[in-house]
Amino acid sequence: MALSGLEIYKHLPKTNCKDCGFPTCLAFAMQLAAKKVSLDKCPHVSEEAKKVLEGASQPPIRLVTIGTGENKLELGNETVMFRHEERFYHPAGIGVLVEDTLDDNALKSRIDKINKLKFERVGREIKIDLIAVKNSSKSAAQFAKVIKAIVEKTKLNLILMSENVGNLKECIKVAKEKKPLLYCATKSNYQEMAQLAKEHSLPLAVHAENLEELADLTQKIVSLGVQDLVLDTGPKSPRKKICDLTYTRRMALKKTFRPLGYPTIVFTQSSEPNDEVCEAAGYVVKYAGIVITKGAEPWQLLPLLTVRSDIYTDPQKPVQVEPKVYEIGAVKKTSPVLVTTNFSITYFTVAGEVEASKIPAYVISCDAEGMSVLTAWAAEKFTAESIAKMLDTSGISGRISHKNVVIPGYVAVLSGKLEEESGWKVLVGPKEASGIPSYLRSMAS
């Protein structure tokens, strides 16, 4: 947290002995507040003061881990309200609900379906992270059986949900190696739940209907020795939910209010399949730590996971695609060749228009340090030389029977030089990608 210089000063010895290299304790405190020196430069600070001051340097939203190994899910430790201020760091965990009332066949087909929720797009795999197993049957034996089947058949992380602490206790041995999230501690059961979480070193979800009661409860649980908490304010309208998520994040970041300094979990309320995804998408963009849906259709999860990848993209870094030759459609040796930059939006816009034209073509993305065509051209990152080099080294010549290349209309001025440098015949394409389909069609005819 940001303690002020004066607040820090209160905890220093106030002897002005100068051993830290500063003339006074206050001067040292000011530098500490500005994060310009570290506390260990003062050899005289008491253990107690150290605790307070180091506690204050903990991240405002605790990093909580669910699961183990390479599949583990890390949540929290976010630093900003808006992604443009820095970035969002730990992508929201996305999971699907499984109730333990399913019979064997239904369970098997649900798990099979869930296991298929991984998608390859833009050269990256995106997939769900979690299964939330709900003890709707209220039977410990049934709960254990379903958890066991899930543990055996998936690598996904788990949330174990039961209102009955006894049932959780009994079933934990089936899944504790997977470090599941226990759901959930409430006003009435928190002592037992905290005990269970502590015994097995598991993260614990905490539920209360409003933020005030929630803050109260987390403080009690922390005092029992459990710190890896995930917050839930229960079912309410999506709008209220977004308010809860926003205020939780804001109180943690702007007020360093530790009782709410944890990641959050949300379960969708809508039952209509499209509505459910839209509701979940809202939670993903507005700060949710975990979002659990009932729907498990690929056409539901693909957009939801994509919303997450978009929002958690680092805004400082221009997103780039690998500079290389891309085949769009069933290309032949006579198919046209288009060049563009490796800025992902530029590339995908071009690729999308080529695809829409239904005329197969090669698109070569040139390394322009992730800039768009005009920006790269102005910065001399997209030049006759760099395009010529790409034509030469990308291996495109071996794949086609012609030597014609289409360049973006905005860099028409490069034509002459590029013809000289490369020996290719240069054709000037449209300025905007939206003109590509008609351009390609007229080329073909």
Per CB under 8 A, residues contacting other proteins are 82-84, 116, 119, 121-122, 211-212, 215, 237-240, 242-243, 246-247, 250-251, 254-255, 270, 272-275, 277-279, 281-282, 285-286, 297-300, 302-304, 306-307, 309-311, 313, 315, 319, 344-345, 348-349, 352-353, 355-356, 432, 434-435, 437-438
CB 205 within 8 A of CB 180: no
Q: Could you tell which of ligand SF4, other proteins, none binds residue 251, using a CB distance below 5 to 8 A set by kind?
A: other proteins
Nearer to ligand SF4, 13 or 437 (CB): 13
Instruction: Write out the two tokens for 228.
Output: 């890896």
For residue 274, the minimal CB distance to other proteins (Å) is: 4
CA atoms within 13 A on the CB side of 259: 15
For residue 371, the minimal CB distance to other proteins (Å) is: 13
DSSP symbol at 399: G
**How many degrees, rounded to 5, is the angle at CA 70 between CA 146 and CA 180?**
35
Is 356 marked within a binding site? Answer: no
Q: Establish if 6 lies at the interface with ligand SF4 (CB under 6 A).
A: no
174 contacts: CB under 8 Å, gap ≥ 6 = 144, 147, 148, 151
Q: Establish if 16 lies at the interface with ligand SF4 (CB under 6 A).
A: yes
For residue 35, the minimal CB distance to ligand SF4 (Å) is: 16
- Looking only at the bridges linking them, the beta strands covering 325-328 and 265-267 are unpaired
Beta-ladder partners of 93? 290
Contact with ligand SF4 (CB under 6 A) among 20, 111, 304, 388: 20
CA distance 437 to 6: 66
Nearer to other proteins, 29 or 245 (CB): 245
- Residue 287's SS3 state is coil
CB 252 within 8 A of CB 260: yes
Q: Could you tell which of ligand SF4, other proteins, none binds residue 309, using a CB distance below 5 to 8 A set by kind?
A: other proteins
Is 401 marked within a binding site? Answer: no
236: left (phi over 0), alpha (psi -120 to 50) or beta: beta
> Cα Rg for the chain, rounded, in angstroms?
28
For residue 313, the minimal CB distance to other proteins (Å) is: 5
Annotated binding site for 5-methoxybenzimidazolylcob(I)amide: 340, 346, 370-373, 433
Which residues contact ligand SF4 (rule: CB under 6 A)?
12-13, 15-20, 22, 25, 28, 42, 44
